[in-house]
């Protein structure tokens, strides 16, 4: 399982980085052409938006995996370890349920767009193709929520001091 996760991580981060870096280069090119050469290029905005949305949707799962989502832990920090474990399971189950729901809604959205046959204005890319990132991103997010649920259930309950000691040992 760890090998699959590490391969998925490399692929996911590579694709997200490609979309982000390429989108940024396209945006800079668009600004350069518009304001330096006074020759705006219409397709740059459209491609930039598609690439940035793709990078963000792929980033949702990466942020969850790396625990970089915003957390309000004022009350959570005061709870005993066993209650924290229960809250972790509940929050991850809710997150998985929500992202699975969005994945299926994304699949439905892609199917509707495919049937309608619309294309983007400037480049002519089929709309359904640009919508594919939603079910893919939400599928990855769902997967990471499920991995976290299994991890929380399998790992023993630890208190804050034990976790800090282990972090210090791992850092050295």
Q: Looking at residue 126, what DSSP letter applies?
A: B
Residue-wise over 108-119: b if at least 16 C-beta within 10 A, else e? ebbeebeeeeee
Query: Structural domain of residue 101, as residue ranges?
Result: 2-158
Lowest mean pLDDT among 66-70, 117-121, 131-135: 66-70
Identify whether 50 is part of a domain.
yes
- Side-chain-side CA neighbours of 171 within 13 Å: the count stands at 6
Non-local (6+) Cβ contacts of 88 within 8 A are 148, 152
Identify whether 167 is part of a domain.
no
Identify whether 26 is part of a domain.
yes
Asked if 30 and 41 count as a contact pair (C-beta separation under 8 A), the reply is: yes
Instruction: Quote the mean pLDDT of the chain.
Output: 91
Identify whether 46 is part of a domain.
yes
Identify whether 62 is part of a domain.
yes
Encode pLDDT of 53-104 as tens digits. Answer: 999 999 999 999 888 877 778 888 888 888 989 999 999 999 999 999 999 9
Domain count of the fold of the chain: 1
Identify whether 170 is part of a domain.
no
Q: What is the pTM of this model?
A: 0.85
Identify whether 108 is part of a domain.
yes
């Amino acid at each position: 399982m760890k090998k699959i996760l590490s391969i998925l991580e490399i692929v996911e981060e590579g694709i997200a980085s490609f979309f982000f870096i390429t989108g940024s280069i396209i945006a800079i090119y668009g600004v350069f052409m518009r304001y330096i050469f006074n020759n705006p290029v219409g397709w740059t905005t459209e491609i930039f938006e598609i690439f940035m949305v793709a990078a963000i949707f792929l980033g949702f799962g990466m942020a969850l995996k790396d625990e970089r989502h915003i957390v309000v832990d004022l009350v959570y920090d005061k709870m005993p370890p066993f209650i924290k474990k229960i809250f972790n399971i509940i929050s991850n189950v809710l997150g998985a349920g929500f992202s699975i729901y969005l994945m299926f809604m994304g699949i439905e959205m892609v199917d509707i767009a495919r049937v309608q046959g619309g294309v983007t204005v400037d480049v002519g890319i089929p709309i359904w193709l640009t919508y594919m990132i939603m079910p893919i991103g939400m599928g990855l997010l769902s997967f990471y929520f499920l991995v976290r649920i299994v991890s929380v259930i399998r790992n023993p309950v630890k208190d804050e001091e034990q976790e800090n000691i282990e972090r210090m040992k791992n850092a050295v």
